[in-house]
Structure 1
Amino acid sequence: MRHIALLRAVNVGGTATIRMAELRSLGERLGFAAVTTLLQSGNLTFETDEADPAQLEQRWEKAVEEHFGVATAFIIRTAPQWQALIEANPFAAEAKADPSHLLVLPSKGSIAEAGVGALRGAIRGRESVAASERCLYAVYPDGIGTSKLTTKVIERHLGTLVTGRNWNTVLKLAG
């Protein structure tokens, strides 16, 4: 089965640098098939008969820390889960009109509705958010780089780790 893996906070701003060619090679040594990367920001796809994304996350995290000396979180979804995440997008108009300003933020754990409500209350700009059980969708109409709705703010309110990819990258990862 095909899996999509997102590394959190890798190759962004010069921190936690991992070469994607070396990451692909590590995946192959771990026994995964069809290991590919997309861009330089920690996007990975691979195939395996192993079905539990949580166990795969732990396996990848341990291997990356041992091999690269980088402690990072992996957020992994199966291809059907990734497709469901795409289909659940509550911001279809924004995805079509301005896909680079729509972020999909898969989460490591569950997202509680109370956390989403608290997050909405913390928004100081024109951003808007919506969530499913394990994914936050955020629209940044004025741009992401200057927004006060940062990953730290999101994680503090949701109580779980997230990592964001813009809509264009989400679709590319779907294959």
Structure 2
Amino acid sequence: MAIAQNERQVALLRGINVGRAKRVAMADLRKLLADLGYGDVRTVLNSGNAVFDAGQVAPGVSATRIEEALVLKLGVAARVTVLSSAQFAELMAQNTLAPALDPARLLALVLNNPADALRLAPLSQRPWQPEALAVGTRAAYAWCPDGVLASKVVAALGVLLGDGVTSRNWATMQKLDALLNGAAASV
């Protein structure tokens, strides 16, 4: 069953291809999404990022379908966050820390549940210099000048949100944005 091609969505799979755990080839992810009926499936990098046509399927429904198919077809359990193109555009626009000198050190920590943004208020009031934290409606944004692994902001967000968040560096987010806005090829 093909899904009508009208709503573009972005899927972010948490923890895919990090180290040796949860290995998923992007060709397998594209096939899995196509087999679910999604159209014009494109992937970005090798870390569980996909852009696709979802027709009238709501992002939450897409997330559930993809999570279930990952387990059933590929034997991989992973949290999946799906955003509509409008939600993704809003997330991109709300990053008050962009542009960054080094987009690899600027993270978008995408919330699986947007209501979790309210839980971030106490963290957004703390002084993090030289790091920085900004909070939008669907993501937190962390500037990590000394690197992500050394970031106190990222560590605090991880403790607070656990697996309710998945992060991407700003360079990857820009690539996803380009695909949503008509870039021709998978990257």
TM range (shorter): 0.7 to 0.9
8 Å CA contact 1:111, 1:132 repeated in 2: no
Provide Cα deviations, 1:2-56, integer angstroms capped at 9, x if missing partner.
1111000000111110111011011111100001111001111110113421111
Gaps of 5+ in 2: 1-6, 179-187
The RMSD of aligned alpha carbons is: 2.1
Q: Report the TM-score, using the length of structure 1 for normalisation.
A: 0.88
1:111 equivalenced with 2:116 (yes/no): yes
8 Å CA contact 2:11, 2:51 repeated in 1: yes
Tell me the equivalent position of 1:9: 15
In 2, Cα distance between equivalents of 1:44 and 1:64:
14
Which residue identity does 1:101 align to in structure 2?
Answer: R
Change (3 A) 1:10 1:122: farther
Which residue identity does 1:115 align to in structure 2?
Answer: L
8 Å CA contact 1:115, 1:158 repeated in 2: no
8 Å CA contact 1:3, 1:78 repeated in 2: yes
Which residue identity does 1:139 align to in structure 2?
Answer: W
2:80 pairs, out of 60, 70, 74, with 74
Provide Cα deviations, 1:50-78, integer angstroms capped at 9, x if missing partner.
34211111010000011111110111111
Tell me the equivalent position of 2:38: 32
1:14-93 alignment to 2 at 5 Å? 14-92=20-98
Gaps of 5+ in 1: none
Question: How many residue pairs get matched?
Answer: 171
In 2, Cα distance between equivalents of 1:99 and 1:121:
23
8 Å CA contact 1:104, 1:164 repeated in 2: yes
Q: Identity rate of aligned residues, in percent?
A: 35
Question: Shift in Å at residue 114 of structure 1?
Answer: 4.2
Provide Cα deviations, 1:95-144, integer angstroms capped at 9, x if missing partner.
24221110001111122434341476596x74221112221111101111
